[in-house]
């Protein structure tokens, strides 16, 4: 039924309906599409299969342990170890617990890995730069080094270093002698040991303060160079602060330390400090082997820098050494760092080969604990956890460095 209204402004009447047409109802939208639901269902099925497999593995392991009367758990770590550790950085006796013995092995692993990473990086950078050298002899020698060491198993390098090179050193009575108190023989490297006295702790405190001052000075110098173009010798001044401040502190305190010199007594040396051949062989093997891989990373990073960058630097009259340090290597880092991160992680894992030459790292100490207690599963879990933690820390640090050196486009 319609009603006609007269509109004073329009001659034609307007017609308005009594009833309004209801708006068309929209179809309800599903929260997930069929494809998304299928994907989520597959993920749940895969996760359920993984959890079922882990449960089955756990039940089977518990049954096998019970059948062999082996108690599970980590309570054995509190028992007395009764095992000697020949090369311990921290004070240790066989009367200490298994947990502390395993901790000594972890410290040894971290110690040799940290030193190896630093030395392998230095050698790898030098060899990588030599690979792209214009000198034919230098480039070929670097290429031979890389190709030989990359294609030899690390275990063979360790056996050769420990069983051939270091074993050929003279006996303690015929030790090679340099300077005062430095001896080299097939038992290790003997050198004077520093015994702290009252007030000695001020020297490392002064060294830390010098490092902090050097870092602050370097940052100020970088900001000054960016703003004004003036360059300050921040590296030399920083080294003077880091080394001169503790030296000045020791002079002011009257050298609060005593040197314990190694002395030949019978068939071996007594006193002083020693770096044993097992540690030397492991360090040499890890450094030389990993440096070959890092050198290839550096070479590929250098060759990834556009040729125009080199031409521009040479057009400015910069010397080749400065071009390599300030132009090429900073840009090569964005290619070098990701691959080098894998090499650092591999170095830490390769340190487990120390068990082959008798260095008491984490794997060697853990293997001895397994032989005494049959707690293989617990020790393997501890190995996995420590290696995972170390490599995650390395990855986080290298990823942060990689983010800082990446080129940011507009």
Number of Cβ within 10 Å of residue 322's Cβ equals: 11
Distance CA 261, CA 193 (A): 7
> What percent of the chain has pLDDT above 90?
36
Sign of the CA dihedral with 92 first, then 98, 103, and 104 last: positive
Q: Which band of pLDDT confidence, cut at 50, 70 and 90, is reported for residue 270?
A: confident
Average pLDDT of the residues in 228-235:
78
Distance CA 270, CA 276 (A): 14
Is the distance from CB of 192 to CB of 259 less than 8 angstroms? yes
**Residue 18: is its pLDDT beyond 70?**
no
pTM of the model: 0.80
Average pLDDT of the residues in 355-380:
89
Q: Which band of pLDDT confidence, cut at 50, 70 and 90, is reported for residue 25?
A: low
Distance CA 236, CA 47 (A): 57
Distance CA 42, CA 37 (A): 9
Is the distance from CB of 161 to CB of 281 less than 8 angstroms? yes
Which carries the bigger pLDDT value, residue 154 or residue 86?
154
pLDDT digits (tens, 9 = 90+) for 234-257: 788 888 888 888 888 888 888 888
Half-sphere exposure of 398 (CA within 13 A, CB side): 20
Residues 6+ apart with CB under 8 A from 130: 138, 139, 141, 142
Structure token pair of residue 82:
């009764």
* Angle (nearest 5°) at CA 88 between 385 and 112: 60
Half-sphere exposure of 174 (CA within 13 A, CB side): 5
Query: Could you give all domains of the chain from N- to C-terminal order, each with its CATH number?
Result: 98-169+275-405 (1.10.3720.10)
Q: Which band of pLDDT confidence, cut at 50, 70 and 90, is reported for residue 67?
A: confident
Of 185, 111, 125, nearest to 361 by C-alpha is 111
Among 54-63, 105-114, 204-213, whose mean pLDDT is lowest? 54-63
Average pLDDT of the residues in 13-42:
64
* Angle (nearest 5°) at CA 96 between 94 and 97: 115
Structure token pair of residue 104:
């000594």
Q: Which band of pLDDT confidence, cut at 50, 70 and 90, is reported for residue 71?
A: low
Residue for token pair 């030949």: 264
Distance CA 181, CA 127 (A): 33
Among 5-19, 38-52, 133-147, whose mean pLDDT is lowest? 5-19
pLDDT digits (tens, 9 = 90+) for 163-215: 898 988 888 888 888 877 888 888 888 988 888 888 888 888 888 898 898 88
pLDDT at 283: 95
Which carries the bigger pLDDT value, residue 263 or residue 149?
149
Helix axes 202-228, 234-252, angle to 10 degrees: 160
Is the distance from CB of 81 to CB of 63 less than 8 angstroms? no
Residues 6+ apart with CB under 8 A from 129: 298, 302, 324
Is the distance from CB of 354 to CB of 282 less than 8 angstroms? yes
Mean residue pLDDT across the chain: 85
DSSP string of 46-88?
HHHHHHHHHHHHHHHHHHHHHHTT---SSGGGGSB-----SS-
Is the distance from CB of 203 to CB of 267 less than 8 angstroms? no
E strand or H helix at 194 = strand 193-196
Residues 6+ apart with CB under 8 A from 172: 183, 185, 186, 187, 264, 267, 268, 269
Which carries the bigger pLDDT value, residue 221 or residue 363?
363
Q: Which band of pLDDT confidence, cut at 50, 70 and 90, is reported for residue 7?
A: low
**Residue 408: is its pLDDT beyond 60?**
no
Q: Which band of pLDDT confidence, cut at 50, 70 and 90, is reported for residue 11?
A: low
pLDDT digits (tens, 9 = 90+) for 281-319: 999 999 999 999 999 999 999 988 888 888 888 888 888
Which carries the bigger pLDDT value, residue 326 or residue 158?
158
> What percent of the chain has pLDDT above 70?
90
- DSSP class of residue 285 equals H
């Amino acid at each position: 039924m319609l009603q006609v209204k007269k509109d004073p402004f329009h001659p034609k009447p307007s017609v308005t309906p009594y009833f309004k047409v209801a708006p068309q109802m929209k179809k309800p939208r599903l929260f997930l599409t069929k494809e998304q639901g299928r994907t989520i269902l597959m993920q749940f099925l895969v996760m359920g299969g993984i959890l079922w497999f882990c449960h089955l593995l756990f039940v089977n392991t518990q049954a096998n342990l019970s059948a062999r009367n082996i108690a599970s758990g980590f309570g054995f770590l509190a028992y007395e170890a009764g095992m000697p550790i020949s090369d311990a950085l921290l004070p240790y006796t066989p009367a200490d617990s298994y947990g502390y013995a395993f901790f000594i092995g972890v410290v040894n692993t971290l110690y040799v890995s940290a030193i190896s990473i630093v030395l392998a990086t230095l050698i790898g950078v030098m060899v990588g730069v030599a690979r792209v050298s214009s000198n034919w002899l230098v480039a070929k020698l670097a290429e031979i080094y890389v190709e030989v060491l990359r294609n030899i198993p690390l275990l063979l390098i360790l056996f050769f270093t420990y069983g051939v090179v270091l074993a050929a050193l003279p006996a303690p009575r015929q030790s090679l002698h340099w300077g005062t108190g430095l001896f080299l023989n097939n038992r290790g490297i003997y050198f004077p040991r520093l015994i702290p006295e009252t007030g000695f702790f001020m020297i490392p405190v002064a060294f830390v303060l010098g490092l902090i001052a050097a870092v602050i000075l370097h940052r100020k110098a970088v900001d000054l160079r960016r703003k004004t173009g003036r360059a300050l010798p921040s590296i030399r001044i920083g080294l003077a602060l880091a080394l001169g401040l503790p030296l000045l502190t020791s002079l002011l305190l009257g050298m609060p330390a005593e040197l314990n010199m190694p002395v030949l007594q019978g068939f071996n040396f007594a006193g002083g400090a020693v770096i044993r051949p097992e540690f030397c062989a492991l360090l040499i093997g890890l450094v030389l082997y990993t440096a070959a891989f890092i050198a290839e990373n550096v070479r590929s990073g250098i060759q990834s820098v556009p040729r125009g960058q080199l031409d521009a630097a040479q057009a400015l009259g910069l010397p080749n050494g400065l071009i390599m340090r300030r132009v090429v290597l900073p840009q090569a880092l964005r290619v070098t760092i990701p691959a080098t991160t894998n090499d650092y992680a591999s170095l830490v894992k390769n340190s487990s080969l120390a068990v082959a030459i008798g260095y008491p790292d984490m794997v060697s100490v853990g293997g001895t604990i397994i032989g005494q207690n049959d707690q293989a599963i617990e020790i393997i879990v501890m190995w996995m956890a420590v290696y995972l933690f170390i490599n995650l820390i390395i990855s986080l640090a290298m990823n942060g460095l990689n983010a800082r050196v990446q080129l940011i486009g507009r």
